[in-house]
Copies of this chain bind each other. A is one copy, B any other.
Amino acid sequence: MPRAKVVFIGAGSAVWSSTIVVDFILTPSLYGSEIVFVDINEERLNLIYDFARRYAREYKADYVFRKTTDRREALENADFVINAALAKGHSYYEVMRQISEANGYYRGINSVEWNMVSDYHTIWGYYQFKLALDIARDVEEKAPDAWLLLIANPVFELTTLLSRMTKVKVVGLCHGHLGYLDLVKTLGLDPHEVEVETLGFNHVIWLTKFKYRGEDAYPLIDEWVERKSEDFWRFWRENQWNPFDIQMSPAAIDMYRVYGLFPIGDTVRGGTWKYHWNLETKQYWYGPSGGPDSEIGRQVYYMYLDMRLNEIKKALANPSRPLADTVEPVKSSESIVPLIDSIVNDRRATYQVNILNKDSIPGIPSDVAVEMPAIVDSKGVHRMSFRELPKKIYNLVLRPRLLRAEWAIEAFLEGGRDFLFEWLIIDPRTKSTEQVNKVIDETLRIPGNEEMAEHFK
């Protein structure tokens, strides 16, 4: 028996998967485990498999790696299932985005208040929802005791959906909450002396606790805003190479001012159309790139993925040079491997997780996935209790975000054109009923959308 059997679905996204592979390799307490890579793209599957085997060999890491395109076969007796799969890949959604934009929906009909993230596919994520639910049902059948670690977005909707529809132990994970480290760094604080808590929904989390050396550190943010933000932004506007570098952007500070708590990580990418009307607006709030979800930011991101993938391919093609020269042997900040370690080896620790609320955060329904810290050990994931979020955030942010989540989930479960229509008829980009009908028709007519068209007929 291996120490643990981990099935890694959608492992073919090698840029991201390689990070997790390195995390495994740098975690000796999991040695002896079996890791099964699954992807429908064989070329990409071979890439990550070859990468893992060689890196492990170079590091003398004792793992059994396997690869397969047969998900159901792989799942047999799994202890952990990582779902990182994006159905149909980025390019498919870019085609839908183009059609949206031709009909007056900048950045696509999927982008709405508090979900402006370009690859957080909700209303048009039919295939993504279906894949995630199919995987969860396979887990339920083949490995009912396994932990399903959901990395695939939309983590908020999918964690809620899978937890409601299956008996599987689903935990959604997202590194966005680490955005607080940018805040800490910018304020010039020692991260080891900081105590933070971030709560909300995935991609909509707020700094509910921020202490430095035992004292409330929010005044330090206020001071920074008043004294240093202008200078910071001047420099930042000239040097924002990374479109994801927006934790301290004017958008974040404005959200803090309006909603009363500091928005953390991907939360800053959200908000209403106030921050997103067009590229110019985005650039005002998110810097010259317009942030990671502008047409520029997105291209930079795809280029980065291509570049990194090519580096990995090149490294693999050169057997004489250690892989560690290309992919650093440094543990990442992703929590997947540490969390598996905590469960397998009873290493009790706190993780930021997405799980059904079940009264952990007052005021949010029981059956909705919240993002919050939880304690993890060999007995599982243990909820804690938190104070209610401030009313302003609850009413103006979480409520509308939850509305869209419930709509997207119902649209997926029930089908029918009405859900798409209702989604759009309340959209500020909508100018007429005809526009709504036209964008729906054209979206559903895209080659590859036949099944989705049938679902939404």
Chain A interface residues toward B at CB < 8 A: 113, 258, 272-274, 277, 281, 391-392, 395-396, 399-400, 403, 406-407, 410, 414, 418-419, 421-422, 425-428, 430-433
Contacts and interface: CB of A to CB of B under 8 A. Distances in A.
Contact of A426 (B392, B406, B426): B426
A146 B433 CA distance: 48
B274 A425 contact: yes
16 contacts: A113-B425, A113-B426, A258-B418, A258-B421, A272-B422, A273-B430, A274-B421, A281-B433, A395-B407, A395-B410, A396-B418, A396-B422, A399-B406, A426-B428, A427-B428, A428-B428
A264 to B, nearest CB: 20
Contacts of A277: 432-433
B273 A425 contact: yes
A414 B428 contact: no
Contacts of A425: 113, 272-274, 428
Contacts of A113: 425-426
A414 B407 CA distance: 29
Contacts of A396: 407, 418-419, 422
A392 B418 contact: yes
B258 A426 contact: no
Contacts of A432: 277
A426 B115 CA distance: 13
B406 A272 contact: no
A302 B105 CA distance: 40
A277 B425 CA distance: 11
A85 B206 CA distance: 42
A425 B254 CA distance: 15
Most-contacted residue by chain B among A258, A272, A421 (CB, 10 A): A272
Given A273-B430, A391-B414, A395-B410, 17 more contacts: A113-B425, A113-B426, A258-B421, A272-B422, A274-B425, A274-B433, A277-B433, A281-B433, A395-B407, A396-B418, A399-B403, A399-B406, A400-B403, A403-B403, A425-B428, A428-B428, A428-B431
Contacts of A421: 258, 274
Contacts of A414: 391-392
A403 B394 CA distance: 11
Contacts of A281: 433
Contacts of A430: 273, 428
Contacts of A392: 410, 414, 418
Nearest to A432: B277
Nearest to A418: B258
Contacts of A273: 425-426, 430
Nearest to A424: B428
In the complex, the 8 A-B pairs of residues with the closest C-beta atoms, listed nearest first: A272-B425, A428-B430, A396-B422, A395-B410, A258-B418, A274-B425, A274-B433, A399-B403
